Structure 1
Amino acid sequence: MDNIAGTKSTLSWVVNISVVVLVVLWLFPTVGLLISSFRTADQIAASGWWKAPFATEQNLKLRAAGPEVQVQQGDLYVIEGRLAEEDLDISVWGISSRAIDAYQPGEVAELKKGGTITVNADGSYRAENTEEFTGKRGQRIFVTALTPAELTLENYQNMLLSEETSDGMVKAFFNTLTVTIPATVIPILIAAFAAYALAWMDFPGRAILIAVIVGLLVVPLQLALIPLLKLHLGIGIGKGYLGVWLAHTGFGLPLAIYLLRNYMAGLPRDIIENARVDGASDFQIFTRIILPLSFPALASFAIFQFLWTWNDLLVAKVFLIDSSGQTTVMTNQIVELLGTRGGNWEILATAAFVSISVPLLVFFTMQKYLVRGLLAGSVK
């Protein structure tokens, strides 16, 4: 009964479950990156993003007040205060990085320079000594405390407004747009003309040319990088926007021509023949009939090409990046942050999410055309 029209195949459940699994696998890291971009560095280091709504146990390095605030109480010199403005829930503490869990709250620790210190569970402390405390700074105290959940916009402020990172990220954002938009538009224009010729125009060697284009789909990108760079240097293009545009165009054309040719070949022949009977030229047929009808296929390839060029690092490294950093793209700028700010995971998470936000916007805006363009011609 599964093959009778109107009945639901048992395989549909497998398809539905597979789609749900794929969606979850895609959402899991994306949502995690979004949540991590609003967390502090200590929270990211202490627990996974799925624990963001809950209090987490963190190891904190704090410092007591310095000798300048000490007061004399009888025969003792005393320093009192709180390790943090808000109340802490301390489980263990210590005065050495090698033994951060040496003491329980309320226990007394002997200081190396003389005197004792006691830290309570709420973060209050009291240091006592029979002689005056000396030194320029207060005692370091390592605590393991349960801290409440906290989401902050400070990561985005540091990345977009801080003088250390904002100039590079903003410049890299516009550099990426400068690379991506022409590298998406140029291959679409060239591929549309070529696809129409291969689909509706008869000329010698057309079948061989189609076979060559299909064969180019399996050529590894890495195989052509060095020869193409030598060609660019030989003809005077060098490293720059023109070189990276041409590189992305060359690498994207085989897929573009293949995808658009298959779509255009599936368009109704009667429309083309009627236009020719009415005296329309090939250029008029292409611009007034083929292009409007081929918009789903054009949009689907535009999504692929935009995502590829926006997220590209290898081609940009080879054909674009210069020593001055004036043409640095987003992907390379994130690598630079990883190198110079390797411990600041909150900044890296924020920069990565800003980088993927534009492709996500493009995908969700044009995703309805993606399926239509890919499935075109599969059913006659």
Structure 2
Amino acid sequence: MDNIAGQKSSLTWATHISVFILVMLWLIPTVGLLVSSFRDRDQISASGWWEAPFAVELTARGRAATEATPDGDLYVVTGNIFDDEEAQSYFPKGSDDVVAFGTSGRNPTEHPAGQTADLGDGQSLVVNADGSYEFRTPEKPGSRGQRIYFAAESPPKFTLANYNQVLNSDGMGRAFLNTFTVTIPSTIIPILIAAFAAYALAWMDFPGRGLLIALVVGLLVVPLQLALVPMLGLHNRIGIGQSFMGIWMAHTAFGMPLAVYLLRNYMAGLPRDIIESAKVDGATDFELFLKIILPLSLPALAAFSIFQFLWTWNDLLVAKVFLPSDDASKVMTVKIADDLLGSRGGDWGILATAAFVSIAVPLVVFFSMQRFLVRGLLAGSVK
């Protein structure tokens, strides 16, 4: 009775669970990236994004004061470690609880808070949970206080500093405009060329058509990295070199196989009666393409436009190869990689923030055209 028309399959629950799991697998990393973009750099290094609402144990260092009070044969230095300038750079608003302390960077949590540590040569040090300390030494302290390392609980800290750094970075506005300059032509040019090629492969009979279709399918599996150096050499020989024209042509070439394949499959599934009726009425191939095929192929054109726009907007490799390295020509991905992250890319707060800044426009494009994406991808799959 499971497959009777009008009744739901007993496997519907399994489908729902599978979809839910897939959505969560995609959503969880995105949420983590969003949370990390608002966190302090030190807290990102100390704990995972899922621990953002809780206090984080951070290791810091500072120096004891230099003013000492005589106490018998010893000099006593007292104060609060959170009053030290260096310690305040880690804890600008203080901390609730010092967990442990030490006098060496190799073991900054050697002694629990509140326990008196014997430093040898008659010296001792104790750091309490509230940050107050007492340092005893048989000799009068010099101009530099005793180095103190400590671990303390830092309350959750969320900030817009990462976004201010990314958005106010010198040249970021120029890079944003350059990204549009690269992306828009790199999306429009391959659509125009691929639409004509797809129509010819779908509805025009000529020798070698099947071979060309097989060649297009074969090009889909060729990694673009194989063509980067030869194509750059070709650009240098014909005079366009590293320029906006060069990257437009590169993105056009790399996007053509998918564009032709997608559009050709869609156009081949259009009703043959419409095409034949137009030809009987005397329509030329160009008129047929312009007045009938293009309007009917709008979902497929929009679907490819989304793919091409997202790829070119988020591209880094092709931009590094086919654009000059000067600041006036950098796109957002190159600007972020070179100027904000540097060669190591270890600043996760900046990286997460830059990711959300760079995907803002693609998200608008995707959600505004997603209905065309679904129609374009599913068209022709059923009869």
TM-score w.r.t. length of structure 1 = 0.86
1:145-196 CA distance string (max 9 Å, x none): 22221211111112222xxxx1254443333322222111110111112222
Q: 1:305 is matched with which residue?
A: 308
Q: Does 1:246 align with 2:245?
A: no
Aligned CA-pair RMSD: 2.8
CA–CA distance in 2 between the matches of 1:245 and 1:4? 54
| Residues in 1 aligned to 2:192 and 2:98: alpha-carbon distance in whole angstroms | 64
Note the C-alpha offset of 1:122.
Answer: 1.7
Q: 2:180 — aligned with what?
A: 177
The residue that corresponds to 2:266 in the other structure is 263
Question: C-alpha separation between the residues in 2 aligned to 1:36 and 1:169?
Answer: 21
Specify the code of the residue in structure 2 equivalent to 1:29.
P
Residues 113 and 182 of structure 1: CA distance in aligned 2, closer, same or farther (over 3 Å): farther
Q: Which residue of 2 aligns with 1:49?
A: 49
How far 1:307 moved relative to its partner? 2.0
Q: Which amino acid aligns with 1:173?
A: F
1:125 maps to which of 133, 136, 160: 133
User: Residues 309-355 of structure 1, C-alpha deviation per residue, up to 9 Å, x if partnerless?
Assistant: 223233223322x3434433333334334435644332222223323
Taking the TM superposition and a 5 Å limit, the aligned residue runs for 1:204-215 are 204-215=207-218
State which of 155, 161, 172 in structure 1 corresponds to 2:162.
155
Structure 2: where are the runs of 5+ without partners? 83-90
Structure 1 gaps of 5+ residues are: none
Kept in 1: contact 2:117–2:125 (CA 8 A)? yes
Match of 1:316 in 2: 319
Residue in structure 1 matched with residue 61 of structure 2 by the alignment: 62
Q: Relative to 1, partners in 2 of residues 1:169 and 1:127: Cα closer, same or farther, differing over 3 Å?
A: farther
CA distance in 2, matches of 1:245, 1:187: 9
> Normalising by the residue count of structure 2, what TM-score does the alignment of the two structures yield?
0.85
Q: CA deviation at 1:376?
A: 0.5
CA distance in 2, matches of 1:49, 1:203: 59
Provide the rounded CA distance (Å) in 2 between the counterparts of 1:181 and 1:33. Answer: 27
Separation of aligned partners in 2, 1:88 and 1:114: 31
Question: How many angstroms apart in 1 are the aligned matches of 2:307 and 2:120?
Answer: 64
Q: Are 1:80 and 1:127, in contact at CA under 8 Å, matched by a contact in 2?
A: no
Q: What is the aligned partner in structure 2 of residue 101 from structure 1?
A: 109
Label 1:215 to 1:310 Cα distance change in 2 as closer, same or farther (>3 A): same
The size of the alignment, in residue pairs, is: 371
Q: How many angstroms apart in 1 are the aligned matches of 2:217 and 2:95?
A: 67
For residues 119 and 149 of structure 1, what CA distance do their matches in structure 2 show?
23
| 2:62–2:81 CA contact under 8 A, matched in 1 | no
Structure 1 stretches of 4+ moved >6 Å: 111-114
Report what 1:354 is aligned to. 357
